[in-house]
Amino acid sequence: MTGIIILDKPKNITSFGAVARVRRICSEKKCGHTGTLDPMATGVMTVMLGNTTRFTELLPSHDKAYVASFRLGTITDTLDITGTVLETRQVNSTADDVEAALKCFEGEISQLPPMYSAVSVNGQRLYELARKGIEVERKPRSVTVYSIEMLSRSEESGEYEIAVECSSGTYIRTLIADLGEKLGCGAVLTELRRTKANGFSIENAVTLEQLEAAANDGTLDSIVTPIDRALEGYPVIRVSAAQAKRFSNGGELDLQRLKYPRMLGLFRIYDPENNFIGLGEIGTGDSLGVKRVYKGE
């Protein structure tokens, strides 16, 4: 089976575990996802099936959107509510203070990856080191927060809910922890739901239970999204049957024999029957080179 499953990942399961469930349900050995979600987090996870896994790093959109809940006055080792409480502080910030502070995190910001994360340092995952009580030096990363919107606020309880749109690599746990430090009272993430990833929204997603039901009643194909749907950010070039065969076999195509937008970069390539056959790349030369060939079978 080839294509994409837009999964609504359930709570209290790792991303690896969620992909393993999809692999079993779809009877497809080759599966991968495009972005880790913590076990406590739910929401959109883009799962690549079969030969679509070769396109993972070429997806044009890696931006994400989340709905996050947090509580002021608490600091944990994991930066979320599942961790060990390290400190509690008095909260003097008003709801207006919180909203004003949040605006300071919009735009390009620097984040230090949390120790409890899947980032690798010297070949080891940070979370593996953290579980052993080892903390290592990490380099800050630049990420972009496009917008932060307050969805609900309770000054009395110190609990808030926000919607965040951001670039790939943004840690919402770190964003909340940094907000807490800015306010001086600390803060901890209590709920996280990813609502958008790779151009797909939560409305496109299916649960593991829905996926299992579709497999049982033979309608699984209706849930699988074609890979070119995720590549719609790239322009299209249509080729002849002979050119499609050459391209699929790894051969470059002469630009003089193609109708194409006069621009460089990656393109979706389709045969005369409008079947997607792969991604091609036009550089500074005179040919359309093969970037990735798609084998749907």
Residue type, 245: K
Give the Cα separation of 12 and 263 in Å (integer). Answer: 46
Active site residue 38: yes
Non-local CB neighbours of 125 within 8 Å, separated by 6+ positions: 117, 118, 119
Burial of residue 254 (number of CB atoms within 10 Å: 0-12, 13-18, 19+): exposed
Catalytic member of 8, 38, 178, 228 = 38
Taken in order 103, 106, 109, 114, is the CA torsion positive or negative? positive
Task: Give φ, ψ of 222 to 5 degrees.
Answer: -70, -15
From CA 276, how far away is CA 51, in angstroms rounded? Answer: 13
CB 271 within 8 A of CB 263: no
Q: What's the token pair of residue 89?
A: 């502080």
CA 220/CA 28 separation, integer angstroms = 12
Catalytic residue numbers, as ranges: 38
